Amino acid sequence: MTLPNVLEPNLDGAKRTLPTSRLETPDMSAFQAPKIAGCLQELENLLTQCRVALLMGAGCSKCAGLPLMFELTNIVKQNLSACSLDVLDAVLEGFDGSTKCTIEDFMSEIVDLIAIAERRRLRTAASPTVEVAGRSFTSEMLGTALDDIKREIAKTIVTPGTSRKIDTHRHFIRTLHGTLRSGRTSTFPHAIDYFTLNYDTLIEDALSLERIPTIDGFQGGATGWWDVDLYQDASASARVYKLHGSVDWCLCDDDVLPRRIRDGVAVASRKDHLMIWPAATKYRETQRDPYAQLVSLMRRALRPDATEIVVCICGYAFGDEHINFELDRALRESNGRLTFVVFTSDDSPNGQLKLWHDDPQLSQRVRIHAKRGFFHASAAYVTEHDLQWWKFEVLTHILAGHR
């Protein structure tokens, strides 16, 4: 279907017409039930009356043609060198029987193993290696494997000659920053914060294509340098926080903070120059910048002083314990001014969501849109039909009022 043009105010107050795009229309029939329609009306009210932030995981990039995290494992394995594949296969054996692991878990495991091997090396141990599945690896071997895995992930995300389908992201951005519903102008008193766990650049690209003034922590343009003070600029309409790094971030020369390098620009860089971080289950990375700076900024943003803030969580399976900790801590310290609106592919609240849902002190502040129903404190509506609001393209249509 062709979506209608929408009008968005420029900084000078003038209206401009945003271009149309063509999107496939998902099946929205399951959302016609009166109780579900009521849930969506409440969602609209929240997003039009409160400050808004987004926490976005890999599921939000699936509609653009990118694989989910667990799908990346097979893609990476097909292209690794024999030595690096040996490391990955050994790590995989340690997760035998698990059904919820992703390439990020395996990368985190390798990071932890590197720390152990490096500590033994620095203490001049007789055998400065680690044993994994009966095989012995040095810190150098593990580090090379980790670098190779990162490079293969980057190649998958940024495949030369491949066009990513960005229409859904553009329409999502257009809806939030233009009109939230047809005929009703959204009024956000603050910039919209985008906390993304994805290595890709879809959100930044969509914001730029829609001409939304955005801060992402970099001075310059396609090639830039990190400047955390930029996040203090109150004139931006959007702020992007890449909590797991990005495929276009790297370390050059003696840098300790990232550069953003345009694809095809050759620069002298470190061996481990690509700055993407797996699900942060280790202590060391949380103490380093820019990761520590980004987490600090997220903490500040999720603790509103006098305003209500709604955080929409989509495409995220709650697999990062550090992120879960920060979300839980923010919810408990928000004095009732923070609400999570979560979209999940689980049939009902599970894992971290169940912990929040079962906690009488928190359940009022967590609205769970699950595959088989809606759950909010003591209110619950269960359906036999799949509610695919956890899909980014479906959520985009819902927010735009197309249902």
End residue of a domain, out of 157, 184, 204: 157
| Total number of domains constituting the chain | 2
3-class DSSP string for 344-376: CCCCCCCCHHHHHHCCCCCHHHEEEEECCEEEE
263 is a domain residue: yes
Instruction: Select from 25, 21, 19 the least CA-distant residue to 7.
Output: 19
Checking if the pLDDT of 20 tops 70, the result is no
76 is a domain residue: yes
* pLDDT, mean of residues 57-76: 91
End residue of a domain, out of 157, 182, 200: 157
* pLDDT, mean of residues 366-393: 94
Cα–Cα distance list, 235 to 55, 231, 239, 266, 303 (Å):
22, 10, 10, 34, 20
Co-location of 309 and 332 in the same domain: yes
- For residue 134, what are the domain limits? 69-157
88 is a domain residue: yes
Residue 300 has a CB neighbour count (10 Å cut-off) of 11
Residue 175: which CATH number? 3.40.50.1220
- When comparing pLDDT for 332 and 28, which is higher? 332
Checking if the pLDDT of 122 tops 80, the result is yes
Tell me the β-bridge partners of 9: 15
Strands 338-343 vs 366-370: parallel, antiparallel or unpaired = parallel
User: 27-31, 42-46, 99-103, 192-196: which has the highest mean pLDDT?
Assistant: 192-196
Co-location of 190 and 42 in the same domain: yes
Co-location of 256 and 367 in the same domain: yes
With contact defined as beta carbons under 8 Å apart, do 292 and 286 qualify?
A: yes
Instruction: Report how far residue 232's alpha carbon sits from residue 230's, in angstroms, rounded to the nearest whole number.
Output: 5
Instruction: Report how far residue 192's alpha carbon sits from residue 373's, in angstroms, rounded to the nearest whole number.
Output: 28
Co-location of 20 and 56 in the same domain: yes
- When comparing pLDDT for 17 and 306, which is higher? 306
Its pTM stands at: 0.88
* pLDDT, mean of residues 312-331: 94
pLDDT band, residue 349 (cuts 50/70/90): very high
Q: Is the preceding omega at residue 360 within 30 degrees of 0, hence cis?
A: no
Q: 3-state class of 40 per DSSP?
A: helix
Tell me the β-bridge partners of 242: 196
Co-location of 60 and 76 in the same domain: no
Phi, psi of 315 (to 5 degrees): 70, 10
pLDDT value, residue 251: 84
Residue 52 has a CB neighbour count (10 Å cut-off) of 22
Checking if the pLDDT of 19 tops 70, the result is no
Residue 378 has a CB neighbour count (10 Å cut-off) of 8
53 is a domain residue: yes
CA 319, chain centre distance (Å):
11
Strands 192-196 vs 238-242: parallel, antiparallel or unpaired = parallel
End residue of a domain, out of 135, 157, 179: 157
139 is a domain residue: yes
| Lowest mean pLDDT, pick from 28-32, 128-132, 182-186, 277-281 | 182-186
Co-location of 359 and 247 in the same domain: yes
With contact defined as beta carbons under 8 Å apart, do 342 and 82 qualify?
A: no
Tell me the β-bridge partners of 314: 56
Co-location of 276 and 347 in the same domain: yes
Co-location of 45 and 184 in the same domain: yes
Instruction: Report how far residue 323's alpha carbon sits from residue 327's, in angstroms, rounded to the nearest whole number.
Output: 6
Instruction: Select from 216, 219, 179 the least CA-distant residue to 194.
Output: 216
Cα dihedral sign, 312-317-323-327? positive
Co-location of 177 and 89 in the same domain: no
Co-location of 54 and 184 in the same domain: yes
Checking if the pLDDT of 313 tops 90, the result is yes
Co-location of 242 and 120 in the same domain: no
Contact residues for 213 (Cβ-Cβ < 8 A; gap 6+): 11, 235, 236, 237, 238
60 is a domain residue: yes
3-class DSSP string for 206-265: HHHHCCCCEECCEEECCCEEECHHHHHCCCCCEEEEECCEEEEEEEECCCCCCEECCCCC
Co-location of 262 and 378 in the same domain: yes
Checking if the pLDDT of 184 tops 50, the result is no
178 is a domain residue: yes
User: Which tokens in the block code for residue 101?
Assistant: 């692991």
| Lowest mean pLDDT, pick from 9-13, 185-189, 266-270 | 9-13
313 is a domain residue: yes
Is residue 182 packed enough to be buried (19+ CB in 10 Å), middle (13-18) or exposed (0-12)? exposed
